[in-house]
Amino acid sequence: MTWLEWTLGFVLVSLYIMCLFTVCSITFQKGRTVLGIVGIFFPWLWLLGAFLPAKKGSRYELNQQIAAQGQVVQFSR
């Protein structure tokens, strides 16, 4: 293998690991479990799961509601 192939391989593996810790975690937090699991083999599904709206009762939706309530309390003082 040439240095260019090693460099390209390193960049692609680094990108995959970065997506694993960021986009994949957002997908799971939004309640999109199937997209998160299948996304291990097809990473573009992680992006789809991250852009779709959160399911009712998911961790992501609850965190958004708590943050919105905090802003209401802060601005109503």
User: pLDDT tens digit string along 6-20?
Assistant: 999 999 999 999 988
Task: Output the CA torsion 61→31→23→34 (10° steps).
Answer: -170
Tell me which DSSP letter residue 40 carries: T
Tally of domains within the chain: 1
pTM greater than 0.85 (yes/no): no
d(CA 29, CA 21): 12
Look up the domain containing 34 and give its range. 3-75
pLDDT digit string, tens, across residues 35-69: 999 998 998 999 999 999 999 999 999 999 999 99
Kindly give, in sequence order, each residue whose CB lies less than 8 Å from that of residue 54, ignoring residues fewer than 6 positions away.
29, 30, 31, 60, 61, 64
